[in-house]
Amino acid sequence: MCTAQEDSSPQGEMYFILTEKSSFGTKNSLQAGTLCCISEEDYLQNVSNETLCPLPLKVTLLEGLNADVQRTVDVNSLQPLRKEQAALLLAVPDVVMRLNYFLQRTTLDNALQARVGQQVLVQLDQKRVPGTIRYIGKIQNCIHLASVYFGVELQGPGEGRGRTDGSYGGTRHFKCDKKCGLFLPFHKLQFVNAGDRQQKKEMKQCKDALPVKPGDKVGFYLCETLHQGTALIISKEGSQWIVEVSPDEGPKDDLVKIPMDAIIKEELLSTVLESDCSLEQSFAIYDEKDARDQDVSSARPSALGVNSMVQIFLNKGSPVSGIIRWIGTLPTSNSLMAGVELDEDKGVTDGSLFGKQYFSCPPQRGIFVKLQCCQPDVRFQSEASTLRPELGLPSCSGLEHSEVLENSPPLRNGLAENVLHGRMKGIQGHCNSCYIDAALFSLFSCTSVLDSMLFKPSQPPDDHIQMILRNEIVNPLRRRGFVSAKSVMKLRHQLTEESQCPSFSTAEKDPEEFLNLIMHHILRIEPLLKLQSRGQKEQECYCYQIFIEKQEELVLPDVQQLLEHSFLSADLKLLEIPSCFIIQMPRFGKEYKMFNKITPSLELDITDLLFDSPRECIICGDLATQECPECFRDKTFAAAGLKQYCDQCSAQTHMHYRRKMHKLQKLKCPVEFQMSTRHRGSSRVPRETMELFAVLCIETSHYVSFVKYGPEKEHWMFFDSMADRHGDENGYNIPTVTLCPEVAKYLESPVAELAVQRPREMDGVAKRLFCDAYMYLYQSRKMALYK
């Protein structure tokens, strides 16, 4: 990027502008506004501060045909200029206009502070169009002083109306598309946001987040009449953002100031013009009075109210959807208005208008529309007319009310099959929600291990999130077997506010992001895992990510093997038995998997993973006193299980020449256990195990889950929140829960047979469980009683 260049003028010169017409000592008078210079030495020799009478002073003219010509002028008619001022003024050809800009100073001062990259407006064909400064400096050489011009790249409606690609006189000063550049004197520009640099920086940061940018085609209306134009200037007056718009009709130089809240964005403009609801019907009419709220419950169409999920049909086939956050009237309109938080960044406000906050939502998500233009979002309807019998969908009976205040236990065995199995069962997906749908279904449908999240005493402002989770998701799931998408979307909107991350309500996330947010930051439940690496500080977490190097010998590993390898490589131990153990598999992103298949371990033995806990000698079964990490990798021993020994067995094992150099680690055993073994005459160590209750899987960026709903080996069900769909863009997803007893057949298959089993030939959905596992969820029923 180019900046101002140095000219070749002599050093030590002083610059002046004539503020009066001068004809001193010459027949040809000089006009006011003429620029000239003189050497500092000559000036000091000829001017005496004590002299009151006008003195003749010989100066050198700087412009046009008279450049480098010397003339005599009245010294009292001269006003001194800084070199930078003179270079800018020299680019203004008309001397009268030049003098005016010198006397007014504002535009000249703004030009002096201008920087490359700054936004400006350019006068072009009687209209102002937006542009960006790409170059400041001379475009031709001069003996004394070169004029300074601004190289501007035209944007928006000015594109293609320039005269250059950034070149002048065969020299490339900046780069832009053909006919998108101009070289202009400062008076042809309107400098936007000139002034304090820090203020400009802050304003730019704020503007980058605004929904409307200079050059955008926008809509607005005055006196209830639709107008269109181009946004030129965006500024802030107090706490209110103002857009100065050049209307397509009317006086060309008149800019109309419109509050940002009342501007319709370019992508919505065409749909507004063609919609059944006119702009007058669709968008609020604003003025500076306070809005008048009123009780409008009797006048609401379609029984819509606050928190209703709605669609706004600005054009046929092109609706925007959202949730009503506010209902009332606005200053100059008697119509009932709705403040809607949109699902996407297609709004113009954060719920405020003229400095008054009507509701709260992320920036660019809020919009005010007439309530009559809102329609219930058919994707979330549970009425019989919406759920078509030919699709096998249930009637609306029992589904009208999303809240269930009566707490329900998890579903097990036959009851789980009766309540959960079928179409339009489980949790309805919408807008990239599969990560949260699968996680919630896995955690709460058939187990109570994390019900503390639902009933743990919580304090404002987070208690409402717990109530949504308990009364609008978990209880309806356990009682009716169905949760509407609007309940999950309501939870996601609250998570968005708590995390200040707008993508939580629209973007695809990973389950661990959701779990960490709601468990740690919102509900603040005690960490599920407490870990310690030898000699290191205690670590706490909610999910454990397995990290291991590729093990060639692990052709078809199970979860037990992967967990032991990971703990051993990181030298980790569990400080206590967890009630819930959430384990993420060794995969990176949604594509790369370290293993083609992983066998679910229905029972996870964590006895040897506990810190300072009694352990059993793998040879004789007595109390172990030493552990050998290197024996863990010795192929002579069993593939699974950490290797620990009593003193006698350790000595015998390490007599072998290949194991003599192994480094043993001393094990500690609680004194209480040693005393109890002496009392009962046995040193047998009790095993601490956890049972698998759910598995989250991912394939092609879509999360699903398997849930173990009973004790029998066939008691598996498969859940997909978006298994089917009714309708196209304006339709809704059909969540489905299917029974998958075929999983048991593969869990019982020999490892060698399962390793060569082709995934596409596996029955039912079993392939998803073995090939696409992302996260395993284990529970300890014993510890769940205490945590």
Question: Which positions are catalytic?
Answer: 434, 702
Burial class for 618, CB neighbours closer than 10 Å (0-12, 13-18, 19+): buried
Give the C-alpha distances (Å, rounded to integers) separating 13 from 10, 54, 660, 699. 7, 22, 91, 75
Find, among 375, 753, 719, the residue nearest to 555 by Cα: 753
Residue 473 in contact with residue 487, Cβ under 8 Å? yes
Name 183's bridge partners. Answer: 151
Where helices occur in 394-544 by DSSP H, the ranges are 413-420, 434-444, 452-455, 463-469, 475-480, 485-499, 511-516
Residue 241 in contact with residue 193, Cβ under 8 Å? no
Residue 560 in contact with residue 516, Cβ under 8 Å? no
CA distance 83 to 300: 68
Please say whether the dihedral angle defined by the alpha carbons of residues 691, 458, 498 and 734, taken in this order, is positive or negative.
Answer: positive
Question: b vs e for 769-778, b when ≥16 Cβ sit within 10 Å of the residue's Cβ?
Answer: bbbbbbbbbb
CA distance 621 to 112: 87
> How far does Cα 753 stand from its chain's mean position?
45
Please say whether the dihedral angle defined by the alpha carbons of residues 648, 653, 659 and 662, taken in this order, is positive or negative.
Answer: negative
What are the two backbone dihedrals, phi and then psi, of residue 236, each rounded to the nearest 5 degrees? -115, 125
| Residue 650 C-beta-side C-alpha neighbours within 13 Å | 23
For helices 95-104 and 106-113, give the axis angle rounded to 10 degrees: 80
| Peptide bond preceding 461 in cis form (omega within 30 of 0) | yes
CA distance 292 to 274: 30
How wide is the angle at C-alpha 194 spanned by C-alphas 193 and 197, nearest 5°? 95
| Conformational region of residue 557, where left means phi above 0, alpha means psi within -120 to 50, and beta covers everything else | beta
